[in-house]
Structure 1
Amino acid sequence: MSAPERIPPRSVTTAELLTRGELTVRGQIRDASNAVLYCAVTHEGEELACVYKPVRGERPLWDFPDGTLAQREVAAYEVSEATGWGLVPPTVLRDGPFGEGMVQLWIEGEPGEGDGLLALVDGEEPEEGWKAIGLAEVGEGKTALLVHADDERLRRLAVLDAVINNADRKGGHLLPAGDRLYGIDHGVTFNTENKLRTLLWGWAGEPLTPEAVDVLKGLREALGASGTLAERLSALITGAELDATRARVAVLLETGRHPEPSGEWPAIPWPPV
């Protein structure tokens, strides 16, 4: 698939372009579990590449209501924006060629940009600058230590995942783009039950950074009954899921620490990458 020429938005914002622009399907991303279409969106002479995930292309899941994954993706973006960290690409809910769906700005990373985020190493302890995730089988009865970088961008994403209860933070869902790091594929989030599954367990049990504490306090206010974030989320997730999100923020602030695996749910998604 060849990307359409990206023209920096001038007369309209990226969100407006994604919401109001004409979607043209250019191809399909076939290794995804749900329907994921690569598109161009054009409006008032401007064009961007984007991803379109129609609701009708979602596969049913036993633990999430049918037809809700697109809304959860948008809800994750709304929470990301409220943190001020900008960890999720601009994402909107809109109608498209195959009905309502999620439309998200396409992030074009450079080859090899993500090489310094995850690694398999020998030994039982990571080197300086790395955090241990756990042992992984590498074939022929051998194991290696799976590690992720001790990177503040990943640490912010770990906090976001704890808030939205992300059940599927794989390595392939990390998109470095220059100095920025984006997380994508947030369809299985905001469940009322604890389903946090992630590769970013390296800080489990460690104190939250002062920055994260300040961000969580801001989220607590924004998720209040009269908060702007609460209003936006109420159109995307259920009241019970919104209450559960508030409760997760409260627990993070009360403990002041990154969450640890509960033992009641597989801690690492499969496949991990």
Structure 2
Amino acid sequence: MPAPDPVAAELTLTGRITTASNATFLGSIGDAAVVYKPIRGEKPLWDFPDGHLAHREVAAYLISEILGWNIVPRTWLREGPFGEGMVQSWQETDPEQDAVDLVAMDDVPETGWRHVLDGQDEEGRIVALVHEDTPALRRMAVFDVVVNNADRKGDHILEMVDGHRYGVDHGLTFHSDHKLRTVLWGWVGEALTAEESEGVNRVSHALQGDLGRDLAELLTAQEISSLAARCAALRATGRFPGPRGGMPAVPWPLF
């Protein structure tokens, strides 16, 4: 029996994620579990006045596909019980893994992790923000630079049992101004690998063809131009950029 059409088949709601800042529902299409974010449930944002968060989520998936790194789970636009919205394939994570963590200063791992920053917890103890030093997270950090992700929280990284890492919640992306806020600052100044550089090259070239035409249905012309400029800058420097400007370099809260 063929699988149900993800666009035309009935989308049935099974629950709501109440911790999300915008309307976010759990649902199913046939036997497949999905996340559904209707456009009508989006709250207006003063610093992202153009377009819709759902469109940015789909645009992020298109970039992920061109990069070829499977960072964003399958994401598409379709009608649902509350109108058009973003639908994304649900991913079952491994609760025993943490790609990003806050640890006591004495517990910062010596190998396999990157130390991002220090701070104080609710009880005044000094803690360190750390993340894995893995190819999967490096690729996600490159992706975040390309899409200008303003909200890469620790909980927006999904740890899979097999070690794969998905990134989700990409509504705050593609702004034409610099907005990069992320917990993945561990490789600032380091050279991109050949694989990472090739991925950025693929996005630059694809913007001249089908990708550019697809993004034109989701983003403004200025946002697409800024996307191309970010790719060009990465190609020119060949290195992970560092924080710049007067805005915070990390999202708040961190998780």
TM-score class, shorter-chain normalisation, is over 0.9
Q: Deviations over 1:147-198 (max 9, x none)?
A: 1110111110000000000000001101112222100000000000000000
Aligned length: 254
2:39 to 55, 67, 70: 55
Other-structure match for 1:211? 195
Deviation at 1:118, TM superposition (A): 2.5
CA distance in 2, matches of 1:185, 1:139: 26
Q: Deviations over 1:202-234 (max 9, x none)?
A: 00111111110111111111012xx12111111
The secondary structure found in structure 1 opposite 2:5 is helix
Gapped runs of 5+ residues in structure 1? 1-9
CA distance in 2, matches of 1:40, 1:125: 41
Deviation at 1:125, TM superposition (A): 7.1
Other-structure match for 1:5? none
Other-structure match for 1:188? 172
CA distance in 1, matches of 2:109, 2:245: 23
Shift >6 Å, 4+ stretches: none
Q: Is the Cα contact below 8 Å between 2:99 and 2:157 reproduced in 1? A: no
CA distance in 1, matches of 2:6, 2:154: 26
Other-structure match for 2:218? 236
Compared CA separation, residues 263 and 159, structure 1 to 2 (3 A): same
Question: Greater CA deviation, 28-37 or 254-263?
Answer: 254-263
RMSD: 1.7
Compared CA separation, residues 116 and 232, structure 1 to 2 (3 A): closer
Deviation at 1:139, TM superposition (A): 3.1
CA distance in 2, matches of 1:172, 1:90: 18
CA distance in 1, matches of 2:102, 2:249: 18
Q: TM-score, normalised by structure 2?
A: 0.95
Deviation at 1:264, TM superposition (A): 2.1
1:128 aligns with 2:111: yes
CA distance in 2, matches of 1:162, 1:175: 19
1:163 aligns with 2:146: yes
**What percentage of residue pairs aligned between the two structures are identical?**
49
Deviation at 1:67, TM superposition (A): 5.4
The secondary structure found in structure 1 opposite 2:127 is strand
Gapped runs of 5+ residues in structure 2? none
